[in-house]
Amino acid sequence: MKKEVSAKSQGLKVAEQRELATPTDLDASAVAAITETMNGVLADVFALYLKTKNFHWHMSGPNFRDYHELLDEHADQLLAMTDPIAERIRKIGGNTIRSVGHVARLQRLSDNDAEFVEPLDMLAELCRDNKALTASLREAHEVCDEQGDSATTSLIENWIDETEERTWFLYAITQQQGGTRH
């Protein structure tokens, strides 16, 4: 009986893989390399999105409104990256993130569950995380370029620019408001 269930499960798994297969001119090793690197980026983007919203929700102090709105704009930019990243992975035949647990296993940026964080420390931490995301995006660009995936490299170039802008804004605010925190 167990062997029948196992054979049936095996057949379903093969059928599911066929259903999710997407034709591409990239070879299997290129798809695997791009999928791995872009899923890591996607996990970091989700982690940074959630941290940005956390700090947005828990902002306080005399510059509350400005920082609150800035972090909302940053979070919107990050969330806007998620679907194109996941869809690029699917367009080339890869599988992408399926759950919050999957994000947690792949993310390289750390969470911040502190009860209270000083506003400028929030901004400095987000500055460091955006800078780290820029580095990850550059690495992903290199992988995608080496694998001949010009469509993904093109998208990554725009995300690098957006991420560098967030880093610049956060850095400028923390410098103006109280010295270095980086």
In order of 17, 50, 76, the CA distances from 116 in angstroms are 45, 16, 23
| Residue 30 lies inside a defined structural domain of this protein | no
Q: pTM above the 0.85 mark?
A: yes
Computed over every residue of the chain, the mean pLDDT equals 91
| Residue 32 lies inside a defined structural domain of this protein | no
Predicted pLDDT at 23 = 85
Closest CA to 130 of 103, 169, 100, 104: 169
| Residue 98 lies inside a defined structural domain of this protein | yes
For 90, phi and psi rounded to 5 degrees? -70, -35
| Residue 21 lies inside a defined structural domain of this protein | no
Give CA–CA dist 86/94, Å, rounded. 9
- How many domains in the chain? 1
3-state secondary structure 96-148: CCCCHHHHHHHCCCCCCCCCCCCHHHHHHHHHHHHHHHHHHHHHHHHHHHHCC
CA 67 remoteness from chain centre: 22
Give CA–CA dist 168/164, Å, rounded. 6
Cβ-Cβ contacts under 8 Å for 52 (sequence gap 6 or more)? 71, 74, 75, 78, 126
Residues 93-152: pLDDT tens digits? 999 999 999 999 999 999 999 999 999 999 999 999 999 999 999 999 999 999 999 999
| Residue 101 lies inside a defined structural domain of this protein | yes
Asked if 137 and 161 count as a contact pair (C-beta separation under 8 A), the reply is no
CATH number of the structural domain spanning residue 81: 1.20.1260.10
| Residue 99 lies inside a defined structural domain of this protein | yes
Q: 108 is in which domain, residue-wise?
A: 40-176
Q: What average pLDDT score do residues 10-39 get? A: 82
| Residue 85 lies inside a defined structural domain of this protein | yes
The token pair at 33 is 């390399």
| Residue 66 lies inside a defined structural domain of this protein | yes
Cβ-Cβ contacts under 8 Å for 115 (sequence gap 6 or more)? none
Q: Helix 64-91 to helix 150-176 angle, to the nearest 10 degrees?
A: 170
Of the pLDDT bands very low, low, confident and very high (cuts 50, 70, 90), residue 16 is: low
Give CA–CA dist 23/11, Å, rounded. 21
Q: What percent of the chain has pLDDT over 90?
A: 84
Cα–Cα–Cα angle for 30, 129, 97, rounded to 5 degrees: 40
Predicted pLDDT at 19 = 67
Predicted pLDDT at 22 = 87
Span of 11-25, 63-77, 93-107, 161-175 with lowest mean pLDDT:
11-25
Of the pLDDT bands very low, low, confident and very high (cuts 50, 70, 90), residue 12 is: low
